[in-house]
Amino acid sequence: MSYKQKLTRKAAFGAGLFCLFLPAAALAGAYLLSAHGSGTIGVERAVMASAGYGRGNCGHCHEMHASLTGDEPAPAGGAASPYALFAGSLDPAVKPYLETSNFCFYCHNSTGSAQQVTNRDYSATFGGGGLATGPQSIIAAFNQASYHNLGDIKTFVNNSSAYLWFSDSSNPCDGCHNPHLAKRNWVSIPANSAISKPSSHFSLWGEASPQLMSSYSYEAPYLTWQSTYVSAYREPDGGSITDGSKTPDYVGFCTDCHSSTNTIWSTTLNRNLRVINWAVGGEKHGGLARDSNPANFREPYDTAASSKSNFVFSCLDCHEPHGSSNIMLLRRRVNGAELSGAISTVNALGPLCSRCHSGGMESIHHLVANAPYPNPVQCTSCHGGQPSSNPVPCGNCHFHGSNDSWLLTKGKTPTYRKTF
């Protein structure tokens, strides 16, 4: 389908869908169950509440007549916005984001002028991190070292024929969330999903099987670190469920965009994102069968390896969905503990890898039974010096879709084993 054809279909499609953004829509029943429509925790703009609008009322976000007792209610934008919202969706497209950058930031902001909403990152909410640490709002999460670039999201989703519901005036946050369906999901996982796949915008994702990580050979990481295997203290709620039946299928969700076929441009990185193949035969942390004799696993994976032939990780086992103080949206807390240090370059991934792998980099590469390079004879031929003083940069080999073909530049024969 050409881009012109998509625009034509969008115009017809959008005309029939506009009512879904208005209070009289058939979606109203589901909206009342959502976080925004709830009568107890829902949207509540102060100026509208003072005029008698109940919590969760559509008027807290939508302004049918753009006035209240003759004046435009705060926050005043001075002009009509798409879908009769009280503000626009995205300007500018890159950080630093301000409240006025995105409609959602008027509330999902600890100092929001419409409503103040606390939203902690995944490391705190489901990873066991302290509630006072890390970002306390969505806008704060986006304004960290790495972030999901909202402008890039809008460009990609809007230009894809797979997402006909999305238009030029749509909010990029809607790419992953349907504001009329999303629930508050910090408790009772997975019964309260906040996410909708871009290709299935009008339904929630991850509330029941098979849209759960239990559809894979999954082992939930620790929420609180234990040096010996225990089933309790697991993500996402600190309980004893280990198979992912409380965790949404983030693999299916994220690969709706981050697949092995989609080309996604990153303004932040100034290149296309690496393709991701989490299917059988793809990457090691995905569906590709793991190497034999996994002697360098830390718990809970070391013990679980005796009963599970493979592990398929959730994308959010390692990544934050909105933003991170580390590069590449890498979580600040993984498998039950904080990383030993910040990660500012792909050549220093040790603090991340060591949360699930033990023995140190030398052991993993040279000493364990299934080591890829078991008989290093001349350290300098690859390292350029002693390994302790001049190691091979992690980023040479370890990234999505990678192997050790970097060794060709050193005149060495690679193993071509997957390295991620």
Interatomic CA distance for residues 71 and 95, integer angstroms: 32
Q: What is the pLDDT of residue 37?
A: 96
Structure tokens, 307: 């009963």
CB 180 within 8 A of CB 37: yes
Closest listed residue to residue 78, CA positions, set 61, 92, 66: 66
Amino acid (1-letter code) at residue 274: R
Q: What is the pLDDT of residue 386?
A: 61
Q: What is the phi-psi region of residue 238: left when phi exceeds 0, alpha when psi lies from -120 to 50, beta otherwise?
A: left
Q: What is the pLDDT of residue 378?
A: 66
Collapsed DSSP state (helix, strand, coil) of residue 282: coil
pTM above 0.75, yes or no: yes
Q: What is the pLDDT of residue 6?
A: 47
Count of CB atoms situated within 10 Å of the CB of 298: 18
pLDDT tens for each residue of 99-118: 999 999 999 999 999 999 99
Closest listed residue to residue 407, CA positions, set 353, 365, 345: 365
3-class SS shares of the chain: helix, strand, coil, % to 5: 25, 5, 65
Collapsed DSSP state (helix, strand, coil) of residue 160: coil
Residue 60 vs residues 116, 121, 195: alpha-carbon distances, Å:
13, 25, 22
Residues of the chain with pLDDT under 70: 1-28, 187-188, 292-295, 375-378, 381, 384-390
pLDDT tens for each residue of 256-297: 999 999 999 999 999 999 999 999 989 999 999 887 655 688
